[in-house]
Structure 1
Amino acid sequence: EASDGVEAIEKYYSKKPDLIFLDLVIPKIDGLSVLKKIRSHDHSSKIIVLTGNDNPKIFNECTKLGVLAFLVKPFNLNDILDIISFSNEVTLMK
């Protein structure tokens, strides 16, 4: 867990997580900038974007950056579990 965008980037580089939950509205550096920074070095990490904004332009930009999912708040736990399950199935098929 990171309290802001700067910390999110630092934790990404130090821990290299298999799955990232990224809110687009975070202090210091917004989530979209964090996503771009991560993608500039790593195109394979699984990133689920969480947002209260269903703006199609932001959705399209996140999609182009290869996010695993784009979830608009409010969402339920089953949405996340389904995405993770699907992701694991795809990984096993490779």
Structure 2
Amino acid sequence: ASDGVEAIEKYYSKKPDLIFLDLVIPKIDGLSVLKKIRSHDHSSKIIVLTGNDNPKIFNECTKLGVLAFLVKPFNLNDILDIISFSNEVTLMK
């Protein structure tokens, strides 16, 4: 999605299994998008991507149940490890 409005629209139309969400996006910021998604769905897997390592933002995202909070720059292996862990947890349920 190119902005927060489109992200919300795509979420409702596609219901993806995994969401990568940047916190700094146009129109509606990522944290507001996260809150909107969580108001309807507490189980979707969301990985937050951000250049901001502010503990307050981290804590808020954690309380909203994100799968991971990745601070830029990060590498591909970080994402692959998170997805692998997520799949293992899903298989165990």
Same fold (TM > 0.5): yes
Listed one character per residue, the Cα deviations across residues 28-85 of structure 1 (whole Å, up to 9, x for unaligned) are 0000000000000000000000000000000000000000000000000000000000
> 5+ unaligned residues in a row in structure 2: which ranges?
none
> 5+ unaligned residues in a row in structure 1: which ranges?
none
Calculate the aligned-residue CA RMSD, in Å: 0.1
Separation in structure 1 between the aligned mates of residue 42 and residue 80 of structure 2, nearest angstrom? 22
Runs of 4+ in structure 1 displaced over 2 angstroms? Answer: none
**Normalised TM-score (structure 1):** 0.99
**Normalised TM-score (structure 2):** 1.00
Aligned residues: 93
Q: Secondary structure at the match of 1:22?
A: strand
